[in-house]
Amino acid sequence: MRERHLLSTYTPSNTPYAILKRIFVQRHKLLERIVGRLAKSMATEDKNHILLVGPRGCGKTNLVTLAVWALQDKSELDDCMRIAWLGEDDTFTGLVHLAFGIASRLAQEYPNEFPADFKNPVRGLSQDDAALSVLHSTIKHLGNRNLLLVTENMDQTFHSLGDTGQKKWRAFLQETRKIATLATAQRLFTGVSSRNDPFFGFFDIQHLEPLSVDQAAELMARISLEQSKPELVEYLKSPEGRFRVRALHYLAGGNHRMYVLLAEFLTKKSLNDLVSALEGLANDLTPFFQERMRSLPDQQRQLVQCLCDAQGAMTVKQIAGETFIEERTCAKQLGNLKSTGYVRSEKRGKESYYDMVEPLMRLCLEAKTQHGRPLRLVARFLRAWFSLTALRKGATETNAGRAVAYDRQGDTLKELADYSAVIDMPDAPVDQEVLARLNRGARYWQDGLFRDSAEDYEAVLQIKSVSSLHRTEALFAVVEPMIAYCNQDDLAKALKRAFELGTPATDAYGGTPNDLLAMVLKKSPVEWSSYVSQIASLYIQYGVAEKLGQGVTQSIHLLDEGGFSQSQIDTWNAAWQHAGNDCEDLEIPLRCLNATVEVMKTQPRSDRPLFRLPIEIRQLIRPLLKHSLGEP
């Protein structure tokens, strides 16, 4: 059983301050500003009230914890500040319980200053009178000191206070001017955003931004340092490691909690594999998501489960039909789920398509009912999509390196001249000659000089001391130009040779299917089926279908902008559906291809067929249809 001693994922205040401070990323300036404003509130009559707004797991509690500890570290505040830090799960059903919560926390933290027996004196009073009596007693015991009230889920607290309770609470705060607030909420709520509510304009509202990819990598690296995982730290700095983090980021978003959970059990091997990293994350998150499911009312739970089981987004009518819940009731409950951050919707015409806000929640709950299959498929798809492909543009300190700059400027002749200068040097270092030939071969291929391109790649294969990476790259690269002038048998032999002689451990193994399939699309449509069949069978046979899937998916862009007829698009789709029908790693790419072909055939053009895909896949695919959907 995995041990976890370093971090408390759901209760950051249980993590040692020094560790929490060392792994803190992204919000240093915000933390400094919060601490500065609250310190001023404790030392003067100028009271600040700060509300941090962000979804579950975005690091609100982490930020609050660091702010409180930083304030407690300021010795100049010892005699003028007291803190009432209410529990995240404390339940309030009115102003009286908020007053009791504050008094109780102060009595626990400062037993010599605040009485534990604060209820007896107010027994028999109305709730409002009891609340105000306890609050005024608390202010009296504060003396010359000020109070910092720290409370999470402020939206729930305000809901329980009601309009009358909110008005009395604001009046008390303004009358006494002894209390500053540091609060959190999962979303902006009417109690602070509506002009008709008593706390409008009262709080300094800070919306917490999600982590960027780089910030997520930095967070995991800092946690890995704490856990003495130097190999993982170095891998996270590498290009391949960053691509893996990008894939994780696509599902986890900028959610701090996800990365803290990941880092607790992550290794270089599991991150590189990605599937095992996501399976480990799902194993930790599933109980959390299940508990959230159990907290929902029965009908809402049914709707969430329906959307988790779905392969894509659904309309209200579809959801109602699947759950046997009356359509009007279904729409109302979906609205409630949307307001609480469980589901999202996109409107198309008169219909709204609903799906889960958090893909990970859907995948984790699916994992229990479908033995983890959907999660594995998505992980493999993302691993291929966000892969570090074998680039043919290798920067060196020689003419080959300068040629890259010429390429960016569109000066093809100078680029080729510099590559050739390196190749023709009698004493050129092997690695520089190899890079020059690979780059010149790529340039020839882009210019349509396919035989010249193939000759450069074959020349690389004749160099005895060429690295396994570059040898593998050349083996697969030579297949692409051959499609233009060789028959299918020769092509199949060249591709088989690449699989047998290439090094599977290198990223170049499997080549660049995007370019391979682009060449196939240049052939006559009557030949597509046989080419697709040969290519698919070899990629499947040698276990690289996942990489081929990326090429199939990217071919959508070529179909969209290539001027193909509807019958030709159907031919391409049918060839792949037949060739990859029984391959699990091609399942998502083929679903993407099928849905996008429908988009291209729809008149007038509509993206509705894409809603059959999960949101995390749909968002990747939509940009490939810029021509069909008229997007810039």
Boundaries of every domain in the chain: 27-207, 290-385, 390-511
* Model confidence band, residue 2 (pLDDT cutoffs 50, 70, 90): very low
Half-sphere exposure of 191 (CA within 13 A, CB side): 21
Residue 336's SS3 state is helix
* Model confidence band, residue 70 (pLDDT cutoffs 50, 70, 90): very high
Cα radius of gyration (the chain) = 31
Give CA–CA dist 252/249, Å, rounded.
5
Q: Provide the 8-state DSSP code for 411.
A: -
Q: What are the Cα distances from residue 194, in Å, to 154, 202, 205, 614?
A: 15, 11, 13, 35
Give CA–CA dist 167/469, Å, rounded.
70
Give CA–CA dist 15/212, Å, rounded.
24
Q: What is the pTM of this model?
A: 0.81
What is the architecture of the domain spanning 390-511?
Alpha Horseshoe (1.25)
DSSP states along 5-46: -S--SS-GGGS-HHHHHHT--S-HHHHHHHHHHHHHHHHSS-
419-470 tens-digit pLDDT: 898 898 888 889 899 999 999 999 999 999 999 999 999 999 999 899 999 9
Residue 410's pLDDT is 54
φ, ψ at 352 (rounded to 5°):
-115, 135
- Work out whether strand 343-348 and strand 351-356 pair parallel, antiparallel, or are unpaired: antiparallel
Residue 243's pLDDT is 87
140-198 tens-digit pLDDT: 999 999 999 999 999 888 988 999 999 999 999 999 999 999 999 988 888 898 898 99
468-490 tens-digit pLDDT: 999 999 999 999 999 999 999 99
pLDDT over 80 (residue 285): yes
198-237 tens-digit pLDDT: 999 999 999 999 999 999 999 999 999 998 999 999 999 9
Could you please state the CATH topology (level 3) that the domain comprising 290-385 is classified under.
Arc Repressor Mutant, subunit A (1.10.10)
The answer as to CATH 2.60.40.10 being correct for domain 27-207 is no
Q: How far is CA 188 from the centre of its chain?
A: 22
pLDDT over 60 (residue 391): no
* Model confidence band, residue 273 (pLDDT cutoffs 50, 70, 90): confident
Out of 239-253, 388-402, 463-477, 598-612, least confident range? 388-402
